[in-house]
């Protein structure tokens, strides 16, 4: 996972609350055998409407999604985070997140920053007045800057640390890699190995 410090990119205003994971990625799009390629599945139902915000040309290449309250509620599917990441979003700002979604985000390098309802409104107005405007999300200072305006966002310390360090679950474990290697050095030589393949010694 990439270390996350600041992101500067186009902001996309999603003026909707209670966006559940079924809307982020409808179930019919879950059949893939890959971890990537979900970008077209993101908000697939809403994107049928040419006026949906993501379809507008000013917002192409958006990296920061500003959503209404209770973003990411519903089923625990990790695909919701994958779809947002695949599309190109590095940050979602919302006044409140679904718990599981927020947990999954931190593990997959998506910053889920909590802002106040008032700041969400301010940011929406600002971005809608100047579509395609870029803003800067600073994880070190926990701020969002656009022009002269700076608003704060909240994120728990543990997730922030993981994002700053670029550690997913596996990355966390691999910090102990020396311990794993030490452990491996003590394993008995007769423990089973799948390679090379062997044939039975006798018939069974």
Contact between residue 9 and residue 90 where contact means Cβ atoms under 8 Å apart: yes
Task: Give me the least distance between CB of 28 and another protein, in Å please.
Answer: 12
Structure tokens belonging to residue 146: 């656009």
Q: Residue from 5, 15, 35, 61 that binds another protein (CB under 8 A)?
A: 35
Q: Is 198 in the site for another protein (CB under 8 A)?
A: yes
Q: How many residues bind another protein (CB under 8 A)?
A: 36
- Secondary structure E strands in 142-203: 143-146, 149-152
Structure tokens belonging to residue 33: 């055998």
The two counts, helices (H) then strands (E), for the chain are: 7, 7
Residues numbered 76 to 115 that lie near another protein (CB under 8 A) are: 78, 107
Q: Is 179 in the site for another protein (CB under 8 A)?
A: yes
Task: Give me the least distance between CB of 176 and another protein, in Å please.
Answer: 6
- Opening angle at CA 172, ends 31 and 90, nearest 5: 55
Residues numbered 137 to 156 that lie near another protein (CB under 8 A) are: none
Task: Give me the least distance between CB of 62 and another protein, in Å please.
Answer: 21
Contact between residue 136 and residue 7 where contact means Cβ atoms under 8 Å apart: yes
Q: Is 161 in the site for another protein (CB under 8 A)?
A: no
What is each CA distance from 160 to 3, 83, 102, 108, 167, in whole angstroms? Answer: 11, 21, 12, 12, 10
Cis check for the bond before 70: say yes or no (omega within 30 of 0). Answer: no
- Give 15 or 175: the residue with its C-beta nearer to another protein: 175
Only segment of 50-58, 116-124, 138-146, 187-195 that touches another protein (CB under 8 A): 187-195
- Give 33 or 129: the residue with its C-beta nearer to another protein: 33
Q: Is 169 in the site for another protein (CB under 8 A)?
A: yes
Find the helix or strand (DSSP H, E) in which 157 lies: helix 157-165
- Give 78 or 134: the residue with its C-beta nearer to another protein: 78
SS3 of the chain: helix, strand, coil, percent, to 5: 35, 20, 45
For residues 99 and 71, what is the distance between their CA atoms, to the nearest angstrom? Answer: 10
Q: Residue from 48, 57, 147, 193 that binds another protein (CB under 8 A)?
A: 193
Q: Is 195 in the site for another protein (CB under 8 A)?
A: yes
Interface with another protein by CB under 8 A: which residues?
Answer: 1, 31, 33-36, 78, 107, 168-170, 173-174, 176-177, 179-180, 183-184, 187-195, 197-204
């Amino acid at each position: 996972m990439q270390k996350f410090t600041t992101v500067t990119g186009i902001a996309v205003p999603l003026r909707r609350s209670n966006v559940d994971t079924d809307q982020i990625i409808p179930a019919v799009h879950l059949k893939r055998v890959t971890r990537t390629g979900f970008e077209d599945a993101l908000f697939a139902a809403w994107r049928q409407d040419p006026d949906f915000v993501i379809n507008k040309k000013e917002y192409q290449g958006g990296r920061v999604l500003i959503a209404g309250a209770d973003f990411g509620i519903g089923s625990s599917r990790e695909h919701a985070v994958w779809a947002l990441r695949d599309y190109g979003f590095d940050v979602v700002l919302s006044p409140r997140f679904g718990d599981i979604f927020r947990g999954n985000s931190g593990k997959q390098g998506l910053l889920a920053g909590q802002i106040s309802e008032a700041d969400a409104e301010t940011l929406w107005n600002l971005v809608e007045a100047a579509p395609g405007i870029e803003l800067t999300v600073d994880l070190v200072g926990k701020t969002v800057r656009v022009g002269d305006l700076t608003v704060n966002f909240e994120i728990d310390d543990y997730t922030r640390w993981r994002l700053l360090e670029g550690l997913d679950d596996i990355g966390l474990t691999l910090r102990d890699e020396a311990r794993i290697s030490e452990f491996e050095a003590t394993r008995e030589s007769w423990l089973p190995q799948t390679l090379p393949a062997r044939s039975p010694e006798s018939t069974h």
